[in-house]
Amino acid sequence: MAPPITFASRPTGVGRARLGSLTTPHGTVDTPQFMPVGTQATVKALTPGDLRAAGVQMILANTYHLSLRPGHERIARLGGLHRFMGWEGPILTDSGGFQVFSLAHLGRVDEDGVTFASHLDGSPQRLTPERAVEIQEALGSDIAMAFDQLVDATLGSSEVAAAMERTHRWAERCLAAHQREDQALFGIVQGGVDPNLRRASVAAIAALPFDGIAIGGLSVGESKDEMAETLDVVAESLAGDPRVRYLMGVGAPPDFFNAVERGIDLFDCVLPTRVARTGQLWTSRGKLNLRNARFLDDPGPPDAECSCETCRNHSRAYLAHLFRAEELLAYRLSSVHNVTYTQDLMRRLRLGLEDGSYGTLRDAVTAHYGAPGREPISGR
């Protein structure tokens, strides 16, 4: 039986950065690549056609949310997640580990799994490694994630170590439970910002027959320097491992560069669409806050260097009006632009690694957005 995915990469001479090609049952993905987040089988405010027009190659959906509503059994009966949401490209599903972290006030973790109250109606729910795999197999994503225990990176080392070791045990249970031959399964490296714990986690997860390696437990409270140092440790520990690498929950423009230079191939984050719905646009000249009064009489496009539907057809003044009038179109047009910007940035980043212009691109993005850091958000 052929593997569910294949990944081929080559070095670029820029740190540990590499250019790659990830082939899945629903298409091939160029890496490095960013995946917009479609938590509930939709990237908020956008249609599949919008995503295709923006250049999106792969998206992320969420096990926890879809299992509660509309239910993974219903999605399976309706032909699987791709058909259900009308997206024919690759899909990666998050296992629900992040929601266990972000909704910790509603749940309790034990060795077998997590018991929690639904954030929708308070009904009792149970999520275990086996259950997380079962749900993702029913959804039919191209790539499933092992169920992990994520904790705040700033907690004491004993708490971080206990969660990491449980993640390793749960990883083995996920592998034992996984049966779907057309679906890849990724393991997740944890360990907070402790270099020794990270090395131990890489060794444990890399020794298992996962199809890819994810780096979890970052962008959850650590400083930007701690994130970079942790990625250095992981990159060194994974040197020579040919599998695709996925940094979970990171998506601010300057952060891509630090991670790519440390060998990261895939990213996801809610940030591009979340800030778009507040009126913040990412442009070739930095951030624009369309709620600022100075844009009410600005006839120019949001970004003169962007060819998205929003920038081709609408002015800053019009978008500023839509936000003040609380028109729903504001969310779609701003999200179309931010997703297009992010995809174009990844395309230019790959081109820069190919033709030697990478450093110039990084300098330009850093000049407009500041040094790599972490945006103050919570959740994927």
Q: Is the pLDDT of residue 210 over 60?
A: yes
Q: Is the pLDDT of residue 375 over 70?
A: no
Query: What are the tens digits of pLDDT across the range 97-151?
Result: 877 777 777 789 999 999 988 889 999 889 999 999 999 999 999 999 999 999 9
From residue 308, alpha-carbon distances to 191, 258, 269, 283, 339 in Å are 40, 27, 20, 12, 9
Architecture (CATH level 2) of domain 6-269? Alpha-Beta Barrel (3.20)
Average pLDDT in the chain: 95
Q: Residue 94 catalytic?
A: yes
Which whole number is the average pLDDT over 335-353? 98
Marked catalytic residue, from 50, 94, 194, 255: 94
Q: Is 75 helix (H, G, I), strand (E, B) or coil?
A: helix
Q: Residue 268 catalytic?
A: yes
Query: What are the tens digits of pLDDT across the range 286-329?
Result: 999 999 999 999 999 999 999 999 999 999 999 999 999 999 99
Query: What are the tens digits of pLDDT across the range 165-209?
Result: 999 999 999 999 999 999 999 999 999 999 999 999 999 999 999
The total of other beta-carbon atoms located within 10 Å of residue 107's CB is 17
Q: What pLDDT does residue 221 have?
A: 82
Q: CA nearest 245: which of 226, 259, 224, 255? A: 259
Q: CA nearest 270: which of 57, 36, 41, 19? A: 36
Asked whether the CA dihedral 120, 124, 130, 135 is positive or negative, the reply is: negative
Marked catalytic residue, from 50, 142, 211, 268: 268
The total of other beta-carbon atoms located within 10 Å of residue 113's CB is 21
Enumerate the domain spans of the chain: 6-269, 276-366
Query: What are the tens digits of pLDDT across the range 69-83?
Result: 999 999 999 999 999
